[in-house]
Structures are given as structure tokens and as C-alpha cells.
Structure 1
Amino acid sequence: MMTRRSWGGSAVAAAILLVLCLARTGQAIWVTLPSSGTKCVSEEIQNNVVVLADYVVIPDDHSHSPTISAKVTSPYGNNLHQRENATHGQFAFTTHEAGNYLACFWVDGNNPGGGGVSVNLDWKTGIAAKDWESVARKEKIEGLELELRKLEGAVEAIHENLLYLKGRESEMRDVSERTNARVAWFSMMSLAVCIIVSTLQLWHLKNFFQKKKLI
């Protein structure tokens, strides 16, 4: 039979696992680039979030190593990273704008085999991009204390994401209400114009029939 202490430990472990799963913001993406053209990856990120990403070309034929160009832009079009003739690279920055951040890749001229090129992109944001080894060395923490610090950071990240989503929901609700008000005003104006035009048509027809002595 499982004791109360065992049940408590299992509950704590389950809670920690759940929070860490919810706070996971790192993802590895496999991108296949066409021989010509650009392929982009975007992610919606809020303000003041750390972003860290590594990308590497995976050649299909080991006899040659094709190169690519990469460019990362902010929601307002600011250039955050740009590199040409690369087989691998890394970009890191802290967001100062909330919105969709775009990472674009394309094959440059150095592709002897032609065809498409595969790129592995490891994109991390927020708590997943934090260097916990440096934190542990600096603050001299390890083991359970370090895991609790990670858990605290994960909880803060989730809380900030919830606040961000709440703000976005409020903005969308305001936009929806303004749109509904404009549509209602336009409908009333359209109805008023129709009534005025109909009245003028009736008055014109009445005068016409009276001139023709039909009524």
C-alpha cells in the first residue's frame, strides 16, 4: 500500500513535470529548402523574451556541403541576424517588440548538387533559452535547489504568457466591439439612405402621374 508520504511525493513530482511540460518553449524544426526561393519560420513572441537558436545544414550527399543564407527580422522589419554562405550559425537576442518574429533561409549559389537542402533549426525562447549552468555556477546551487529555481522560472514564464494572452484577448475584444459598432452604424446609414431614396422615388412617380393626369 502506498503511504501518504509516497502520495505526496508523487503529487509534487507530477506537478513539477506538468509545469515543466507547459513551460517548454524550445523546439527543433526540420526545414527543407527548395533549390530556389525562400522558406521562413515564424513564432509569435511577447516583449522582453530571450531567444536563442542554432541552425545547421544537413547535406544529403557527404561529398559536398551546400551553403545557405539566413535572415531574422522583428515584427516591425528590424534586421536581427543576417548571414551568407554558411553551413551553420546561431542567433540570440532579447525581444523589444511583441509579435511574429521571422527567420528566413534560402540556398545561395554554392550548391553543386542542386536540389533542395535540409536545415535543422533548434529554436528556444524564454526559460528554455536560459543558461542554467552559468546560473548554477554563479549562485553556487545544484541538485534540488537548481531544479526548484528552474521550476520557479517556468512558473514565471507561464504567468507572463497568460498575462500576454489576456492582453491580446482584450485587444481583440476591443477591435471586435469597434467593428460591430461601425457595422451597426453603416447598416443604419444604409437603411436611412434606402428610405430617403424610396421616398424620393414615390414623390417623383406621384408628380409624373399627376402631370400625365393619370391620378
Structure 2
Amino acid sequence: MTLRDIIVPSSHVANHNKAAGDVRPMRRHGFLLLVRADRSQRSAMLSARAAGAALLVCAWVHAGRALYFHIEETERRCFIEEIPDETMVIGKYRTQLWEEQTSSFLPATPGLGMHVEIKDPETKIILSRQYGSDGRFTFTSHTPGEHQICLHSNSTKMALFAVRKLRVHLDIQVGEHTNNYPEIAAKDKLTELQLRVRQLLDQVEQIQKEQNYQRYREERFRVTSESTNQRVLWWSIAQTLILLATGAWQMKHLKGFFEAKKLV
């Protein structure tokens, strides 16, 4: 423990304070809580807290992006994934077919496949390919932003009125999560420490890419905000000019009306 708590009656506090100069009394429920703090132990406690926070951050970074969803055979399902530039993405999927007799999802037949189509933020198709019932697709982003990942079964073009339900398990890995570190360690003959350093370097590189992407988004947001402000300003000026022109025209019209009626 980094702090030693001593609870004593209030009557014994004065003598104890004289004997210990680094003791700070705090009153709690009629007693005084004497806390002796060691600077070195306190530093160790702060280091432990920092390490714990780092572990929480790493746990958040390593969070998976696996999910599953239900679609009909004629349905198309798309997802949006924000990806930095020059980042590898690996997607794995597995399909199951609903069986009415057993009222459960069973592995899909080999004839049932999935078509995967991926578009970059500029809506350019960077991947469009037909896969089997279980498959794996890979692509590398060249433009930062929102990438659209769409999947639909190959029966979409064959059966217009198919109503069978599919369950698709999808797992998307981005950046350093795509690396197979056990395979890398075996291939490059890395020690456990060297492998850990490799993982940390990959994580730092991915963090830098994420930061660059956030700066890119901030720049786009700033440009959009400035453009919106300019449009609002010019529209306000245009409204003011229209109002002044309308007022001047009304004044001129009323003046001509009163002069015609010989009221002025």
C-alpha cells in the first residue's frame, strides 16, 4: 500500500503529532485519520495509475469490429467505415441460411455466395468481386474518409422473389489489426521483446494515421464552416439590399400617388 491509515481517538492526536512531523490529521466521525505519505511510494502509485490508463487505452484500441446482421436474399446491405489513407483493411464474413424445419440458422450451401463492393469517399469502386458463402476480402485505402462496404447474395440476380433469410457474420480489421504477429514472429525469427516492439511501432504508426485523418476532417470542417458563413453573410447582404430597394420603390410609388391626387 502507498498510504498507511492509522485511526486513533482524538485524545491521542496531540502527542502523536509531536512525534511525527510528516503526519497530516483529518477528522472523520469523531476520530482523526492520520495519513503518512511516502513520496517514493506516491510516485509509484501514480506510475501504476498511468500504466493502468495505458492498458485501458490499449484495450480500447484493440476492440474488435465484429458484428452480424440479417438480410433477405434480394437485399443489399451497406456499411460506412471511416479509414485513414494508406491503410490496409481486411474483412472476413460467414453466411448462415435460415432453416424452417429446425427454426435455426445453418451453414449456407456452397452454391450461395456473396458479392462484395467497396467504394472510396469519391464513390469510385475500388473492389467488386464475387465470393463464396464464406470469404475474405482485402483492400488498401488511398483516400482518407468514409468508405462504403456493400454486400449482397449472388441469388439477387437469380431469384427476384426469394424470401429466404440470411445471417451474415462480418469482421472488419483496420490498420495494425490486420497483421498476423505470430506468423511475422515465425517468419522473421523475432523474440518476444522484438515482437512486442514491432507491435508498438505498428500501433504508433496507426495512431499517427488516425491523427492525420482527424486533422484532415478538421480542415474540411473549417472550410465548410467558412463557406457557410460566407453564404450566410452574402445572403444577409442580399436581403438587406432587397429590403432597401423595396422600401425605396414603395416610397417613390406613394410619392407619385400623393402627387397625382394632389395631396402634397
TM-score (norm 1): 0.84
CA contact (8 A) 1:19 1:151 kept: no
CA contact (8 A) 2:95 2:107 kept: no
Q: Secondary structure of the equivalent of 1:69?
A: strand
- Does residue 83 of the first structure (1) align with residue 129 of the second (2)? yes
Residue 256 of structure 2 is matched in structure 1 by 207
Q: C-alpha separation between the residues in 2 aligned to 1:45 and 1:54? A: 17
Residue 94 of structure 1 is matched in structure 2 by 140
The within-5 A match list for 1:54-93 is: 54-61=92-99, 62=106, 65=109, 66-84=112-130, 86-93=132-139
**Structure 2 CA distance for partners of 1:19 and 1:97, relative to 1, 3 Å:** same
**Superposed displacement of residue 64, structure 1:** 5.8
**Structure 2 CA distance for partners of 1:25 and 1:170, relative to 1, 3 Å:** farther
**Structure 2 CA distance for partners of 1:158 and 1:21, relative to 1, 3 Å:** farther
Residue 132 of structure 1 is matched in structure 2 by 181
- Does residue 49 of the first structure (1) align with residue 95 of the second (2)? no
**Superposed displacement of residue 13, structure 1:** 5.0
Q: Secondary structure of the equivalent of 1:59?
A: strand
**Structure 2 CA distance for partners of 1:155 and 1:12, relative to 1, 3 Å:** farther
**Superposed displacement of residue 81, structure 1:** 2.9
Q: C-alpha separation between the residues in 2 aligned to 1:96 and 1:25? A: 24
Instruction: Flag the structure with more relative contact order, 1 or 2, with Cα contacts below 8 A and sequence separation at least 6.
Output: 1
> Matched residue pairs, number?
215
5+ residue gaps, structure 1, are: none
**Superposed displacement of residue 165, structure 1:** 0.7
CA contact (8 A) 2:62 2:177 kept: yes
**Superposed displacement of residue 104, structure 1:** 1.2
Q: Secondary structure of the equivalent of 2:98?
A: coil
Q: Which has the higher mean CA deviation after the structures are superposed, 137-146 or 180-189?
A: 137-146
Q: Secondary structure of the equivalent of 2:204?
A: helix
RMSD in angstroms over aligned alpha carbons?
2.9
5+ residue gaps, structure 2, are: 3-39, 100-105
CA contact (8 A) 2:83 2:147 kept: yes
1:114-135 Cα distance to aligned partner (Å, 9 max, x none): 4220111110000111232343
**Structure 2 CA distance for partners of 1:72 and 1:163, relative to 1, 3 Å:** closer
Q: Residue 94 of structure 1 aligns to which amino acid in structure 2?
A: T
TM-score (norm 2): 0.70
Structure with the larger strand share = 2
- Does residue 162 of the first structure (1) align with residue 200 of the second (2)? no
Q: Secondary structure of the equivalent of 1:213?
A: coil
